[in-house]
Amino acid sequence: MMTSAHVRHFWLAAVVLAAVLALLPFSFHAERHLETATRIESSEAGKIPQELATRFHSPFVDRVVLVIQGLPPADSEEGEQALATIEGRLQNEPGVSGVVSYLDFRDSIFLGKGGGTFILVGLASTEGSVESLVPKLHDLENSLQNELRARYPAVKFELTGETPLNFDIRKASSDDVKHAESLAIPATLALLLLAFGSMVAALIPVAIGQLAIASALAMAGFLALRWHLSILVQNLSTMLGLGLGIDYALLMVSRFREASATEQNRFKCSSIAARQAGRTLLVSAATVAIGFLALLTVPISEISSIGIAGFLVAGTSLLLSVTLVPALLAALGPGINAGRVPFLANWDAHRAAGREHRWRRWGRVVVAHPWLAILLAGAPLLLLAAQARRLNTDVPRGDWLPSQAESVRALHTLEKMDRVGMVYSLRVILELPTDSIGQTDAGWNALDRFSKRLASDPRSGRVISLSTIAGSDRSQLINISRDTRRASLSSDGRAALIEVLPATSVTLNDQVHWVRELRKDGAQVLSGVPGATLRIGGIPALTADYQTIVRDRFTSVLALVVGGTLLALLGGFRSLFAAVKAIALNLLSVAASFGALVLVFQEGHGIRFFGVPEGTGSIFPIVPIVAFAIVFGLSMDYEVFLVARVLEARRSGLSESEAIPEGIAKTAGLITSAAAIMIAVFAAFTFGDFLVIKMLGFTLAVAVFIDATIVRIVIGPALLRVAGDWNWWPGGIQPHAQQ
């Protein structure tokens, strides 16, 4: 019989469902508001574009490279005519703020090895981001290519640069999400059918996971209208929504079916499930949310965006699981077992008791030999965790960009032309305290010395500044085009832009180290002018700032996650030992997963299975800090599930040695099913093209596997047995807390 409390619960569920359905249409367009560019607050490299725009009024703050092949040489009359046609069309294109080619700057830099040339195109979008101009440039590029093909059949245009690369990464990210969903959803549905033997029971967690994803994406889309959110929100929302949403709903459905075995009233069964599972889910979601909130302290848009995405997914998964799922279960009642699969239905009739008996027997073995269990299970994990000490967070080697993207193909074309430095150049601003660079000999000489000092470094392939263009002769400034002067000299004359193109053999990591050396030496040493300053931008400088911030903030994120989780567990269990033990085991799981990451991705053992030809030599800096925050919360799920049931058993009157096997019997099957689903979801993301997501998916899958098997089924129960009654100190076993 339905009580007034049940009616209120139904109304609450209806409100939540209405809100989710209202958000649903906005989730389809959230991707448009997410950014692929990395933004680092208060970063030196991040401030360079703004300075170029305001002090230099440069038309090339944002720029792309149009790579051209199949035309006559750029330094021939026919080649110049073709370039003039292309330049004219580009200059008339809305959003194009500047164009520079061999016609404007007759320098061998525009004559690539083996033929071919390129045009630098400045962008300045008045509506939206510059990334929105990329499709229009592709249309113009195709139109020009078709026009010229009648005369030059081999002509080929390709667009690259930071903005087109970001655009193509967005598409690769979107494709990876669709591909991962196509793998993960059937796999999770199959695992849920194995767990429940019923199509209806299996579909409920999948539906909750999908609703959690849609709700989180829609809310992220709204937040992106005000704040800079990364495209990684899309990947992480999908990954975590499928994992958390399904796991939380799985626990609720399991509790309902367990209650239905002894209680006929479906409304009471729903209330029991909501009360018992709800408290467990609240503690679990709190620990997950803490990890993601800690990421908000990192001033990098990609990482803080993941923090927001994770917090939204955890919150919506919890809300849907404690409101919508109990109401749905109460409405279905025995209908939860509808759509039973014949083979699984027969198996399900006998499996529950048999499975619990097997796990109870296993629990008794662990309780009888706790120290042996700790030694046998802990030693291999410690060996694996020890590999994490060799984790290297430099830029991974190899070609890890999406290979099918035009911008990546163009990058390879520039490499063959020995001109890829146009994309990876350093953008150095030298500022003098008083002298005008363009109007005084002292200022001009300082720029010339600085440029020559940079050019003398073996890592430099070419230095482009006003002094190198003018041949060190200040009188030649009048022969330099107005656009070039404006792009290279600030409006007050005291600051100059120097572009440093790396030598062919110089890797991005080499450039990152060079950036750090230049900053350490300083402009006074390099230019010979007291009080002079330098600021460095470009992809290498941004990478250097990124790595520095991540390394500096990792310890504080770790402290916040561990401290916050400790408080959440103390509030949930009222036990110091249980909380400290859970954190120690989580740290072991994380370290072991990092060790596996080093062995597989960094060193290449078995990496071909993931579609990567060889070891990457290092790991993206974002992976360890994000994986730690996620894994620490997710791993806590299974600890909360197990300890909560052991505590229930103690409160029912069982001794510690009896309560531990009972807790294992009641939760091991659930933990196994939930972990299998998580692993399937995370593993699906290792088969995309986005290497950073491959690494993250692999780390999460390994961590969950280790945690749900060795840690929670062997080491955790053994430690509970060793601690005895100290497990529940200082709260103790409180009868009034019974469910």
Helix ranges restricted to H, 266-394:
266-295, 301-319, 325-332, 342-368, 370-386
User: Do 425-537 and 46-160 fall under one CATH topology?
Assistant: yes
The pair of structure tokens assigned to 219 is 């809310």
Query: Own/partner pairs for 140-145, CB < 8 Å, 24+ apart?
Result: 140/89, 140/90, 140/93, 141/66, 143/89, 144/85, 144/86, 144/89
Q: What is the DSSP letter of 688?
A: S
Residues near 7 by beta carbon (within 8 Å), at least 6 away in sequence: none
Identify the residue whose tokens are 């997501």.
693
Q: At 73, which amino acid appears?
A: P
**Greatest CA separation for the chain:** 96
Q: At 104, which amino acid appears?
A: D
Question: What distance in Å separates the CA atoms of residue 178 and residue 684, rounded to the nearest whole number?
Answer: 10
For the chain, state the CA radius of gyration.
Answer: 30
Strand ranges (E), 410-532: 426-431, 460-464, 495-502
Q: Quick count: other Cβ atoms within 10 Å of Cβ 587?
A: 17
The pair of structure tokens assigned to 353 is 């008791």
Give, in order, the Cα–Cα distances in Å from 429 to each of 45, 474, 499, 518, 709. 11, 19, 9, 12, 55
Strand ranges (E), 432-541: 460-464, 495-502, 533-537
Residues near 143 by beta carbon (within 8 Å), at least 6 away in sequence: 89
CATH class of domain segment(s) 425-537? alpha beta
| pTM, 2 dp | 0.83
Instruction: Give the dihedral sign, CA 163/167/173/176.
Output: negative
- Residues of the chain scoring pLDDT < 50: 347, 349, 736-739
Pick the closest to residue 69 from 116, 107, 110, 114 (CA basis).
116
Domain boundaries, the chain: 4-33+166-334+353-398+544-737, 46-160, 425-537
The pLDDT value given to residue 348: 52
Angle between helical axes of 342-368 and 370-386 (0-180°, round to 10): 100
Give 126-185 pLDDT, tens digit per residue. Answer: 676 788 888 899 999 999 999 899 889 989 999 999 889 888 877 777 777 777 778 888
Question: What distance in Å separates the CA atoms of residue 260 and residue 267, rounded to the nearest whole number?
Answer: 10
Q: At 674, which amino acid appears?
A: A
In this structure, the strands spanning 460-464 and 495-502 are antiparallel
Q: Is 208 helix (H, G, I), strand (E, B) or coil?
A: helix
Instruction: Give the dihedral sign, CA 190/191/195/196.
Output: negative
Omega before 433 cis (within 30°)? Answer: no
Does the domain made of 46-160 have the CATH classification 3.30.70.1320? yes
Pick the closest to residue 325 from 227, 259, 251, 390 (CA basis).
251
Bridge partners of 501? 462
The pLDDT value given to residue 351: 59
Question: What distance in Å separates the CA atoms of residue 322 and residue 496, rounded to the nearest whole number?
Answer: 60
Question: What distance in Å separates the CA atoms of residue 376 and residue 572, rounded to the nearest whole number?
Answer: 30
